[in-house]
Structure 1
Amino acid sequence: MATVDGATRRRPGRRFWASRGRGPARRGVHPGRGTATASALAAALALTLAAGCTNGPAPADDGRGTDRPASRTDTGTAAAVGQVLAVKIDNVRAARPQTGLDAADIVYVEQVEGGLSRLMAVYATRLPKTVGPVRSARESDLELLRQFDRPALAFSGAQGKLLPLIDKEPLEAVTPQDAEDAYYRGTEKASPHNLYLRPHRVLPSAPGEAALTTGFRHGPAPDGGTPTRSRTVRYPSARFTFTWSQERRGWEMTTDGAPTVTADGRRLAPPTVVVQYVDVRRSGYHDVLGNHTPYTQTVGSGTAEVLRDGRSHDVRWLRPTATDGTRFTTRAGTPVAFAEGQVWVVFAQRP
């Protein structure tokens, strides 16, 4: 039986194989189905071995990650499976500083029980050595992840009534019970804030930018905008401040009044921050204390602020269905491009 935080669970028929001697960490290959041919299994195993997965103890990790660009064919198209890795990451004070956040392509910020915050980091262009601390999934994650092609979702557990919904989703669940060799417990933080993931034991390599089927665009900034030095977003029990650094060409982050840093002490400064106004309502799920889980609705339309290059742009967002990415446009309908580099999307309650 799983709980909201920190629990692992068994999910028969949806088990994700870790690469340590039990099969390839790839979608479409499951124990007991009997549909894969011997040649397909051999090819998948060869791919896993070539990726260099090891059975040794978890390496010391400085949080900086390792660049793993996707391989490319002669035509210049990405030769990767197209499966992103999404990781649910703890964001309470006891969990900071997190490891591997700076390697993510996108970091989503959502409200959870008690007005606190939790992160979902999405990896496509590179995989860090370690990511964490890993925490539990929420109902909102399922809708958000539908935009990707069968993503791998790493999380520590979920509320028991939510598990049947996760079973039905087009994703690969990666929990400590599903892929025990991909996880370890650290020693610097107290449980439950010390569960870490080794991404290379989930995906053999980073799939590449083409796997980010989000609707996001990179390019020149839109015309206009308001010069902005700092922007703060508040949840009932959490707050985020983004302060423009001309030197770093990014928005230096502060979380709950303290600098947001990597495991080796470097300040996070994403080039683009999106404050997306959405409906946040009470769901039918709750934690062990009875606090109801907020549901963040990311399908629909509304307004947003795009922070880039020291300016704030008032825009509109549109996501017609769960399988669509989110498109951002100016009031006149012109597509809005983001700066190259990491994007943080902070979901805020619609005014």
Structure 2
Amino acid sequence: MNGVQVVVASLGGTITMTGSGGTTGVRPSLTADDLIGSIPGLARTAEVTARTIATIPGASLSAADIFRAFAWARDAVDDGASGAVIVQGTDTIEESAYLLDLHWDRAAPLVVTGAMRAAQATGADGPANILAAVQVACSPESRERGVLVVLNDEIHAASRVRKMRSSGLNAFRSPSFGPLGGLVESAVVYGNSIRRPAPLPVPTGSSRPCVALIETHLDDDGALLDLATASDHRGIVIDAFGVGHVPAKVAGAISRAVAVSKPVVFASRTGSGATFSSAYDFVGSESDLLRRGAIPAGWLDARKARILLTCLLAASSTMDNIKSEFRRRGQLSSPALPDWRNTTGKHHDTESTGCWSGTQSNDTRVRSQDPS
């Protein structure tokens, strides 16, 4: 017993799904208590307290569900937990983890995990993923790294990870730069890192602005973008070709959206790489979109760009502030960017050093507790 405490909350997802009766498929049914109750090695890793927040598929999660989990995790680490783990469906992990990361302002790690196989499946990966997530959450090396996504013994940054396959244990990847680290013989090992801008303020209201996400395509005439402009959507994210290109007609629709003060962000639909700023100069190119007032997402993919734009609009950010935040968060680094961790406690430099650091998880006992 070394006093290391980690809290685990479940929102549901495949990891909680089982089959029953004559149904042919699986549905969420297991509680957080069920999930941690029979994981080999968990009792030797940390003293774990479990809580069930929701038991729903990842596809049906809402921002309100994510913020409930956020508040629970922040309260838990403020009460002394070394780290927190949120278990959820993998369909929306790449979005919910980034939403959490934008607001997470504690040094303690917040880890998100799930499973690609249901609980009753042969070779179910849920128990191993939860164990790995707890090991990451209680490692001192994980502190001040923000929100981490742990699956298949890999540790990913919330701002970079994507679900790249519809199935399979290797579905999650960080395509441009790779994972931050992994687990080797239960040791948490980091070999990569990122710099995090200051967290955004936690929203106080319950309403969320609508932001449209539109992928461009061959023969796109901009009609769908015009519909979004005429609707009550407060902003628009375009999943553009290549380094940030759209058809000429879509470029015109972007101008019409900007003219009525709706922020338009463009990202690359390729799944890897960043938007450019000046390599091309035709109608609909990245430089043309910039002249029209569109905002580049940089290294953020369109799904994460939508999350960021929604959060900024919810905070009543000005257009200038929105552009500034996308520059800060869509770029790899900024020498002038202050490190927010200097104001929250002991500073640990997480810039890539080329060194690998690892910590072995310690032994304590498991305690589970679900609300009545």
Give the TM-score category using the shorter length.
under 0.3
Larger radius of gyration: 2
Q: Which has the higher helix share?
A: 2
Q: Which has the higher strand share?
A: 1
In the superposition, the TM-score normalised over structure 2's length comes to 0.27
